[in-house]
Chains A and B, each alone.
Chain A
Amino acid sequence: MNRQIVIDPVTRIEGHGKITIHLDEDGQVENAVFAVTQFRGFEKICEGRPFREMPSLMARICGICPVSHLIASAKACDELLAVRIPPTAANLRKVMNIAQIVQSHALSFFHLASPDLLLGMDADPAQRNIVGVLKNNPELARGGIRLRQFGQQIIEWLGGKRIHPSWVVPGGVNGPLTAELRDRILATVPEALDIIQKTLNWFKRTLARYNEEIRTFANFPSLFMGLVSRDKELEFYDGSIRILGAGGNILADNLDPARYTEFIGESVEEFSYLKSPFYEPLGYPNGMYRVGPLARLNIIDRAGTPLADQELAEFRTLERGAVLSSFHYHYARLIEILHGIEKIEMILNDKEILSSHVRALARPNAFEGVGVSEAPRGTLMHHYKIDEDGLMVWANLIIATGHNNLAMNRGVLQVAKHFVDGRKLQEGMLNRVEAVIRAYDPCLSCSTHALGKMPLLIELVEPDGRIVDELRREK
């Protein structure tokens, strides 16, 4: 006699997904899957559009990470133009991309994850939210708001608006940086650094309370993938792909991102609209890998900025070899914020940053282009084909969240098996099943869009339809 528990929707994530937990006759967890339940189909929408529209069109995929899509799309278009964009343009794009990562990570940590971390996984759900955080730890809430503003302001100042800026274009950026704006951004750096260092110290003190979650939150061997710089440092914009093996060994290095089809396969699960990519040489599903902050910190030799390198050294004492628990995505996110702020300062102090040469102009010179960058949630791939008139004929997008699909599913199963007792549901145990998904900070908005009311209903249903237990959370 099999039964199911359905968590629909999963809360405090970007977008709409559901978790189904299958129970055996004894009420023990047999299987669990995470499904993305709505379809958007941007790859079809763009067919027939002029390729120069792609960056601003693709930015519409998401209201949380529009800059990430803008950057990957512009890079794909650079390939269609077959140009090498001016170094200053690349640096300015990097600043905007990092600002996006900082503000997105701040949203994830302070607004979505910190209620669990500050108030506890078993706290009353009516209090376990951003409002609960600001009542119980105003300094943490204030810090989150200020860090979000730090990133959003940079995006707005550079691009003219916070969401969907059109400053990044094929061939570079639309205009140079002024000295006044550079100095205005640099003036915001010290406060941002102070906030993230205090937050890191607070977070590290709380870690001891979560030993059980650390041990069971998607804590398993997997591959890790991401971009690294030429010096094998943390890289969000350019570089080559490195894949770390399950044992912490480097499995593949210096891979050309444009040739991703040679090492990434894509499978489709019948229960989800989110694709499940895998590392082709190991096949499906053994080729399961993770991307995003945890993966990026695992694959690099060093961060490349002084304060982040100090934190990275401490982070790496968590485990011998790669850090495997997905609970530590939160930790990694904070270190990346620190690195991002330092890196922005570093780039803006480059003597060429005010150069007026920020765009390469050209007609389309290639029929196919691939753009790869690191989004907050991991490696983002845009792959376009155009016809002789420059119109889009084909597109393939591998969204950062998609790379983690297999690992998220494995994580949900692990947490459900450890915490869920199907004979009697408790909200706290189901919150942990959601929380493992939250650790990955999935941006399902990239493949779906949640609209309307989002109450949470969890039912335990016998095969004959009889409801044996129910938990309900109103909006």
Chain B
Amino acid sequence: MNRVLVIGFGNPLRGDDGFGWEVAGQLERRLSQESSVHILTPIQLAPELAETLTRYDHVFFVDAALGDQPGRLILTEIAEGNLDSGFTHHLDPQALLASARILFGAQPRGRILTVDGLNFELGQGLSDPITRALPEAVHLLEKEIEKILGDDPEAQAFAQTNMEVESDA
């Protein structure tokens, strides 16, 4: 059985940066019966998450991004890359996956779902375009997870990179 980890990260006290938490929360309610799917909602990606990734075959990161089309969803394959992005004690998804590989020999397939955010000021609650994008975001991930759990061969293809699924929310 494939094991799936969803990491919705960001700061829910900074407007649309709470997108990852919101998507993760809805998925958790909908997939509560799936014992092979786990959900995490950290504020940032601490290095020790690298060890957590070793227990999964697929990892979905969910985050809000700076972008010019508020509500636009992009699901992207995380390419294996270099490790030059570290600045302090948190990492980006690419560096985290690379850490899991270098330190623990883990090779989970990683993808990231982002939404173009509109408002990142102090305060709780998502802006309207981001709120409208939520159902599509949850549906998109649910569909991908179903494919994985159903052993869809396409979902097992590790070689794909930069696969993008765009959705107009």
A12 to B48, CA, bound (A): 17
Closest to A115 in B: B86
Q: Knowing that A11-B87, A148-B47 are A-B contacts, what are 12 other residue pairs whose CB atoms are under 8 Å apart, sorted by A's residue number?
A: A111-B89, A112-B88, A129-B86, A129-B87, A130-B86, A131-B85, A138-B103, A142-B103, A144-B47, A145-B47, A145-B103, A475-B87
A112 to B89, CA, bound (A): 7
Query: What DSSP secondary structure best describes chain A's contact surface?
Result: helix
B14 within 8 A of A: yes
6 A/B residue pairs, CB under 8 Å, sorted by A: A130-B91, A131-B99, A138-B103, A144-B47, A145-B51, A451-B14
Shortest CB distance B16–A (Å) = 14
Interface residues in chain A, defined as those with a beta carbon under 8 Å from any beta carbon in chain B: 11-12, 63, 107, 111-112, 126-127, 129-132, 134-135, 138, 141-142, 144-146, 148-149, 152, 451, 454, 475
How many residue-residue contacts, CB under 8 A, span A and B? 60
Shortest CB distance B161–A (Å) = 21
Shortest CB distance B38–A (Å) = 15
Q: A131-B91, A148-B48 are in contact. Are A141 and B86 (CB under 8 A)?
A: no
For A142, list chain B residues within 8 Å (CB).
103-104
Shortest CB distance B72–A (Å) = 22
Shortest CB distance A307–B (Å) = 24
Shortest CB distance A8–B (Å) = 15
B43 within 8 A of A: yes
B83 within 8 A of A: yes
Verify A138–B102 contact, CB threshold 8 A. yes
Q: A131-B86, A135-B83 are in contact. Are A111 and B47 (CB under 8 A)?
A: yes
Verify A152–B103 contact, CB threshold 8 A. no
Verify A149–B48 contact, CB threshold 8 A. yes
Among residues 43 to 81 in chain B, which have CB atoms less than 8 Å away from a CB atom of chain A?
43, 46-48, 50-51
Verify B87–A134 contact, CB threshold 8 A. no
For B43, list chain A residues within 8 Å (CB).
63
Q: Give the interface centre of B43, B95, B102 by most chain A CB atoms within 10 Å.
A: B102
For B51, list chain A residues within 8 Å (CB).
145-146, 149
B84 within 8 A of A: yes
Among residues 1 to 59 in chain B, which have CB atoms less than 8 Å away from a CB atom of chain A?
11, 14, 43, 46-48, 50-51
